[in-house]
């Protein structure tokens, strides 16, 4: 199952750090790629390229000038759309249903104001708690539940460095064999 | 078990949104309170006061000019200190041990560069993946694991509004009975 995160309404400069954190979380918690709409932002894109180069894996990032079309395109190809919103159905009651759907999925993550269209196009509108918090935490906990925690051990082949876990302190190891990234989910 | 989040090295303006998101995630995912060090920031504090007033609960926020002393003080009172860092022991191998410890806990979340002292004072240095992502996602997934997902159904008594979950769209209800917050964990 391929998972792509779709970030709506990125605002240049103002959202730099939250959008970068969101994509780093998407990558770390097992999503295959992300697409964002709103203002195109070279700084966010370069951050992700650097993280892949240093820490490995095949996470891809693309820009879409039209998120409605992106949602409709994936839907027409048989993907399922999950929209994360504090107004939706509680995660804990619906995650089994989502997990058992074999379709590829787009996980839609809003900005400050999400148009009604996103709610309508989504196959599921999901609340990770009905309290206000952060799209970064909502996405992370959603992916963690979707993958049942197995994403915590996901390998990131290639790259230059890897961490050697320590009870105290830091240890980083240079990878012996630098592998090129393999074909990613949006290559075809 | 009382859980307090300790945020190190907050930077004024630059960290406004990420620190606010971090505290909102702490509140939504079941922590009782947060303390932050670095630059004091009225905007962050006001955001949390407003969220409590609107959405309920007793989440508290305090400032500490000296995080080392804060860690040492809690430690001397028998609390256990969990430091979240990508360099630490993988969460999935140690969460059972942390969960089965009955002590109250301080969850320490770093800024960009965390001094060695934090690693030394911590009872556990924990990695939520060994990949770079976000302190917001690390904290959220840590709390979600600590509480075994039960925090997703945590009630937030008092406040003005509550969400009525919907499969499509938004529904917010004004709470009939506005309750004052009860005594919080840092009152004594």
Across residues B110-123, what is the average pLDDT? 92
Q: Which of A163, A172, A173 to mutate to test the interface with B (most CBs of B within 10 A)?
A: A163
Tokens coding A75 = 């839907």
HSE (side-chain half, CA atoms, 13 Å) at A85: 32
pLDDT tier for residue B186 given thresholds of 50, 70 and 90: low
* Residue of A131, A154, A171 to mutate, testing the B interface (most B Cβ within 10 Å of its Cβ): A131
- Under 8 Å CB pairs connecting chains A and B tally to 174
| Tokens 């969960």 found at | B99
pLDDT of residue A13: 86
CA distance to A15, A36, A38, A71, B126, per residue, from A66 (Å): 18, 9, 8, 9, 40
More confident residue, A186 or A103: A103
Residues B23 and B63: beta-carbon distance below 8 Å: no
CA pair distance B32, A76, nearest whole angstrom: 45
Of B21, B87, B92, the CB nearest to A166: B87
| Minimum distance, in Å, between the CA of residue B7 and any CA atom of chain A | 16
Residue A147 has pLDDT above 70, yes or no: yes
Cα of B141 to nearest chain A Cα, Å: 6
Residue A73: pLDDT band with limits 50, 70, 90:
very high
Q: How far apart are CA A54 and CA B62, in angstroms?
A: 37
Residues of chain B contacting residue A89, judged by C-beta atoms under 8 Å apart: 165-167
Nearest CA in chain A to B51: A132
Angle, vertex CA A79, rays to CA A34 and CA A126, nearest 5? 75
Give residue B113's pLDDT band: very low, low, confident or very high (50, 70, 90): confident
DSSP state of B186: T
Q: Read off the pLDDT of residues B45-98 as tens digits, 9 standing for 90 and up.
A: 999 999 999 999 999 999 999 999 999 999 999 999 999 999 999 999 999 999
pLDDT band, residue B178 (cuts 50/70/90) = very low
pLDDT tens digit string along A117-138? Answer: 999 999 999 999 999 999 999 9
Reported for A9-15, long-range contacts at CB under 8 A and 24+ positions apart, including other chains, are: A9/A37, A9/A38, A9/A67, A9/A110, A9/A111, A9/A112, A9/A113, A9/A114, A10/A36, A10/A37, A10/A38, A10/A39, A10/A41, A10/A44, A10/A111, A11/A38, A11/A39, A11/A111, A12/A38, A12/A39, A12/A41, A15/A41, A15/A111
Q: Which residue of A has its CA nearest to B91?
A: A152
Q: What is the pLDDT of residue A176?
A: 76
User: Cα distance from B105 to chain A (closest Cα, Å)?
Assistant: 18
Residue B54 in contact with residue B157, Cβ under 8 Å?
A: no
Of A139-153, A166-180, B44-58, where does mean pLDDT reach its minimum? A166-180
Average pLDDT over residues B113-138: 97
Verdict on whether the full-model pTM lies above 0.90? yes
Cβ distance of B137 and A21 shorter than 8 Å: yes
CA angle A83-B141-A5, nearest 5°? 30
Whose CA is closest to B98, among B116, B79, B85?
B79
Q: Is the pLDDT of residue B188 over 60?
A: no
DSSP H helical segments within chain B, as ranges?
16-28, 42-55, 67-76, 91-100, 116-121, 135-146
For residue A73, give the DSSP letter.
H
ipTM (interface pTM): 0.93
Contact A137 B25 (CB under 8 A): yes
Residues forming beta bridges with residue B3, ordered by sequence position: B105
């Amino acid at each position: 199952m391929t998972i792509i995160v779709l970030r709506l309404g990125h605002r240049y400069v103002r959202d730099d750090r939250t959008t970068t954190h969101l994509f780093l979380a998407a990558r770390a918690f097992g999503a295959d790629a992300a697409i964002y709409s709103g203002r195109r932002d070279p700084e966010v894109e370069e951050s992700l390229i650097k993280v892949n180069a240093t820490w490995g894996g095949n996470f891809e990032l693309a820009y879409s000038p039209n998120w409605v079309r992106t949602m409709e395109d994936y839907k027409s190809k048989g993907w399922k759309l999950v929209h994360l919103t504090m107004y939706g159905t509680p995660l804990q009651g619906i995650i089994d249903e989502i997990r058992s759907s074999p379709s590829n999925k787009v996980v839609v993550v809003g900005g400050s104001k999400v148009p009604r269209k996103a709610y309508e196009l989504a196959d599921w509108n999901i609340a990770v708690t009905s309290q206000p918090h952060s799209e970064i935490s909502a996405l992370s906990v959603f992916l963690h539940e979707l993958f049942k925690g197995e994403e915590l051990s996901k390998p990131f082949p290639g790259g230059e460095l890897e961490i050697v876990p320590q009870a105290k302190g830091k240890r980083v190891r240079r990878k012996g064999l630098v592998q090129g990234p393999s074909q990613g989910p949006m290559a075809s």
